[in-house]
Amino acid sequence: MKATNKSSINNLATLLLILVAVAFVGVLLANSYYMPRFKKEFTRIEKERIIVSNKLATAMIVQENLNHVRDLIFNNMELPGRPDTVNREAQFFEFVTACVNDLKLKLVSVKPAVPVTDGRITTYGYDVVIEGDFFRFGELCAKFENNQRIVSIESFDVNLISDIDREKRQSITDFKTDNKGISVIMRVNTYWVGKEGPQEAANADRQALTKADQPGVVNENK
């Protein structure tokens, strides 16, 4: 009886080994048949994913640029139905003060110049004096560039602050930087585009009529 049970167990074990071997061979065959096809499909899907990701990144960059252009228009131009009640000098002073405080620079002075109007464009100039270091001055220029208002640096003059002057300026010693202290005197301009006046409108109409009367130009009004 025991011999019969032992034989049955051996036969069962042998059958299981055979089944495992057959399953293993089947997996190898299936792998060799299907995996190359799956690999090609995975490669195609990965390429499509990269293309879609690049298009999405490009779309986001375009959207950011369009939003920046929209902000530039709304913050630098007088639009119909939108009252112009902004104090340009106060707005610029608040912006410069926020930038200086953020970068831990020292704002020595801000002197507004007389606004200059040329056609629809009014230029607001400011003589600004700051103290800090070269690195923070570069960051300040970057803030000017990325501002929603159009800000241009017309000119600037950089002077190194001597060690004696540095000791006299507590704000410079508080920078905790190894960079040399500098004093920057610069002329900064902002701009505002106003409504088209009667003279500008007349000039635009005159230019349109001149262009329409040129040879080879079809005047649609005739």
Residues 75-98 have pLDDT tens digits of 788 877 766 667 888 888 999 999
Instruction: Name every residue whose Cβ is closer than 8 Å to that of residue 185 and which is 6 or more positions away in sequence.
Output: 127, 128, 129, 156, 157, 159
Tell me, what's the pLDDT at 67? 85
Tell me, what's the pLDDT at 75? 79
- Name the nearest CA neighbour of 166 among 180, 154, 156: 180
Tell me, what's the pLDDT at 41? 76
What's the half-sphere exposure (Cβ side, CA atoms, 13 Å) at 168?
A: 6
Percentage of residues of the chain with pLDDT beyond 90: 28
Q: Taking 60 as the threshold, does the pLDDT of residue 30 lie above it?
A: yes
Q: How confident is the prediction for the chain on average, in pLDDT?
A: 77
Q: How far is CA 150 from CA 68, 101, 168, 190, in A?
A: 11, 21, 35, 6
Q: Which residue has the higher pLDDT, 198 or 113?
A: 113
Q: Taking 60 as the threshold, does the pLDDT of residue 7 lie above it?
A: yes
What the block records as the tokens of 36 is 């190359």
Tell me, what's the pLDDT at 123? 92
> Is the whole-model pTM more than 0.85?
no
Give the Cα separation of 217 and 19 in Å (integer): 89
Percentage of residues of the chain with pLDDT beyond 70: 67
Quick one: DSSP state of residue 214? S
CATH 3.30.70.60 fits domain 88-196: yes
Q: How far is CA 143 from CA 22, 59, 60, 138, 147, in A?
A: 70, 24, 21, 9, 6
* Of 54-58, 105-109, 214-218, minimum mean pLDDT range: 214-218
Contact predicate 181/168, CB 8 Å: no
Extents of the domains making up the chain: 1-76, 88-196
Q: Taking 70 as the threshold, does the pLDDT of residue 180 lie above it?
A: no
Q: How confident is the model at residue 208 (pLDDT cuts 50, 70, 90)?
A: low
> Which helix H or strand E contains 155, and what residues bound it?
strand 151-160
- Name the nearest CA neighbour of 132 among 95, 98, 160, 168: 160
What the block records as the tokens of 198 is 């009667």
Give the Cα separation of 48 and 51 in Å (integer): 5
Q: Taking 90 as the threshold, does the pLDDT of residue 187 lie above it?
A: yes
Tell me, what's the pLDDT at 186? 94
Residues 102-161 have pLDDT tens digits of 999 999 999 999 999 988 889 999 999 999 988 999 999 999 988 888 889 999 999 888
- For residue 180, report the phi and psi dihedrals to the nearest 5 degrees: -70, 140
